[in-house]
Chains A and B, each alone.
Chain A
Amino acid sequence: MMMTKRQFLTALLAATCLLLTKPATVKADEFTDGAVKFIETLADDAVQSLTAQNLEKKERIKRFRILLNQNFAVDAIGRWVLGRYWRKATKEEQAEYAVLFEDLIVATYVNRFEEFSGETLKVIKAISQNGKDAIVKSEIIRPAGQPPVRVDWRVRSPNGAYKIVDVLVEGVSMSQTQRSEFSSVIKREGGEIAGLLTALRQKTAVLNE
């Protein structure tokens, strides 16, 4: 079948685009390959250091904090979660918030490693997004017949070191959920960050009992 002139031009344009973008793809591959390795290493490290049955709670928390700060952009996530209220907060409030935010993450997730029962994290691939992020797609493998649980890691590499900025479980962003929730709390407290800090203090105290 003969190509029309229009089809030919479209094909030519597509080919040119492919040629032009090729070098960029190679560079992106290095970035995404690194991101895949980063998540695989993190999963191994987490299983090794956090899931031992006889670990004391204090020691588990200590190890979790180290891994968390090595691999997640905790401060940045915390600020993003607070959104526009970060700027409204005083220096003292910001400092206390940063500590409480990390405590909340620790208190929420550390126990999950205690209940760990040999699930494996299978990293599928990483795709680059808007030039600065890599989305590492992975699955938690479950017993036969059950579909795996989808976990996506949004990863960035400033100055060569990878940091996680968000985790999405079955499409639900942990950061987005917290941002929406914190905003709702502040709104109910009449726009006062102090109200959120009180709630955070109570929550982390309850969870750390």
Chain B
Amino acid sequence: MGFREFSRVFLGGLCILLVSGGVFFATSPAAHADEKNVAAKFYVVDAADQQQIADSMNLDLSSEDDADEDPLEGFNRAMFGFNEFFDALLLRPAAEFYAKVLPPPLQRGIRNFLRNLRSPIILANDLLQGEGERAGITVSRFFINTTIGIGGLSDQAGRMGYFYHNEDFGQTFAVWGSGSGPYLVLPILGPSNPRDLVGTVVEYLVDPVNIWADNQDHDWIPLTRTVSTGVERRAAALEILDEAKKSSLDYYATIRSLYNQRRADEIRNGEDVDNRPAPGFSYNIFNTGPNQASGNQH
């Protein structure tokens, strides 16, 4: 199967998923529990908090479940299991080879090159989100790294303080007001949701390097790029995911929570943590009597 055929099949599959996801998204009541509703939920809890101060227990009265929303959990867990299998069989060994056998300078070169190649996509999304300053950083990085950084192999801009940041269409849609839809684990691609999946497809279709390669019949270019990006990202996450797996009681739930929180943070560009749920938000944690308060010394 040539790459052209493969990509047609792949994109076709994605479109089917997308449409079914979209239908589900539109019809599922849970899908409408977007960020605003979550925030509202915690305000309600906070109001109940006042009442609970008198009640020495001071706990969350909400009957809502505290686990992240996941109406497709059955499908997702099955897909997660498949991905774990794929990871153990192929992705992880490749990532370990990359991280442990390739010399570190070569690894850095590959990572920098792949990141530099993403510059047009990042710039487009900086601009679509009206982030002028970040767009400026992206442009500066691209010119510095493509020239002084020898075609993007060396991150000279990072040394000057112009750090890499990521942007994608999923984030742009979120900034424009789109809800995420239900959490969705994709085969091989991993954690996502309908909004981010549409973003992934759009990115693939509009990426200048992909378009150019397609016109020139260099089908191997997007394929090599996709595979090496996947391996590079998996390698970067080796330790973090091992730690998470080791210390978590439910690895699937941990990854789901990490994905949702990381995406929310990326969409905010790491700014304002206002209205985030946190201990002390839902009940007065220190109003548990003098014995509790001094009990911290044990």
Binding site for B on A (CB under 8 A): 69-70, 73-77, 79-81, 83-84, 86-87, 104, 107-108, 129, 132-133, 135, 144-147, 150, 152, 154, 156, 158-159, 163, 165-166, 168, 170-173, 175-177, 179-185, 187-188, 196, 199-200, 203, 207
Asked if B296 and A175 sit within 8 Å, CB to CB, the answer is no
Q: A163 CA to B297 CA in the complex, in Å?
A: 12
A interface secondary structure, majority: helix
With A75-B288, A172-B258 known as contacts, the answer to whether A184 contacts B250 (CB < 8 A) is: yes
Q: Which residues of B contact A158 (CB under 8 A)?
A: 286, 293
Are A173 and B296 in contact (CB-based, < 8 A)?
no
A132 to B281, CA, bound (A): 10
Complex formed: what's the CA distance from A128 to B31 in Å? 33
Q: Is the CB of A163 within 8 A of B296?
A: yes
Docked-complex contact B296 and A145, CB < 8 angstroms:
no
Residues of B within 8 Å of A133, CB to CB, are 278, 280
Residues of chain A with a CB closer than 8 A to B296's CB: 69-70, 73-75, 163
Measured between alpha carbons, how far is A199 from B62 in the docked complex, in Å? 24
User: Does B247 lie within 8 Å of A77, measured CB to CB?
Assistant: no
Is B262 an interface position by the 8 A CB rule?
Answer: yes
Contact present for A171 and B273 (CB under 8 Å): yes
Bound Cα distance from A108 to B264, whole angstroms? 25
Chain A residue at smallest Cβ distance from B266: A171
Nearest chain B CB to A181's CB is how many angstroms away?
4
CB distance from A208 to the nearest CB of B (A): 12
Q: Are A170 and B273 in contact (CB under 8 A)?
A: no
Cα distance, A207 to B265, chains bound together (Å): 30
| B293–A159 touching, CB < 8 Å | yes
| Category for how many chain B residues contact A | 35 or more
Q: Mark B248-282, 1 if CB is under 8 A from A, else 0.
A: 11101110111001101110101001101111101
List the B residue with the shortest CB-CB distance to A76.
Answer: B285
CB < 8 Å neighbour of B163 from A108, A147, A183: A147
Q: Which residues of B contact A129 (CB under 8 A)?
A: 273-274
| 6 shortest interchain CB distances as A-B pairs | A171-B265, A76-B285, A184-B253, A80-B279, A158-B286, A183-B66
Which residues of chain B come closer than 8 Å to A182, judged between CB atoms? 66, 249
Is B94 an interface residue, CB under 8 A from the partner?
no
Closest Cβ of chain A to B156, distance in Å, is 8
Chain A to chain B contacts (Cβ below 8 Å), 12 pairs: A70-B296, A76-B280, A79-B59, A79-B285, A83-B66, A133-B280, A165-B278, A166-B279, A179-B66, A181-B67, A184-B67, A200-B249
A29 to chain B, nearest CB (A): 19
A165→B285 contact, CB < 8 A: yes
Q: Are A76 and B286 in contact (CB under 8 A)?
A: yes
Shortest A159–chain B CB gap in Å is 7
Given contacts A83-B66, A176-B278, A185-B253, 16 further A-B contacts (CB under 8 A): A69-B296, A69-B298, A70-B296, A84-B60, A86-B57, A104-B247, A129-B273, A133-B280, A144-B159, A145-B158, A145-B159, A171-B262, A176-B277, A182-B66, A199-B249, A200-B249
CB distance A75 to B295 under 8 Å? yes
Contact check, A187 vs B65: say whether CB atoms are below 8 A apart.
yes
Q: Are B264 and A171 in contact (CB under 8 A)?
A: yes
With known contacts A147-B163, A183-B67, A184-B253, A87–B261 Cβ distance under 8 A: no
User: Quick check: B274 and A83 within 8 Å, CB to CB?
Assistant: no
Other-chain residue from A73, A84, A207 in contact with B286 (beta carbon distance below 8 A) = A73
B113 within 8 A of A: no
| Residues of B94-124 whose CB lies within 8 A of A | none
* Bound Cα distance A183, B288 (Å): 23
Q: Which residue of A lies closest to B63 (CB)?
A: A84
Q: Which residue of A lies closest to B158 (CB)?
A: A145
Q: By the criterion CB–CB under 8 Å, are A172 and B261 in contact?
A: yes
Docked-complex contact B270 and A150, CB < 8 angstroms: yes
Minimum distance in angstroms from B144 CB to a CB of chain A: 12
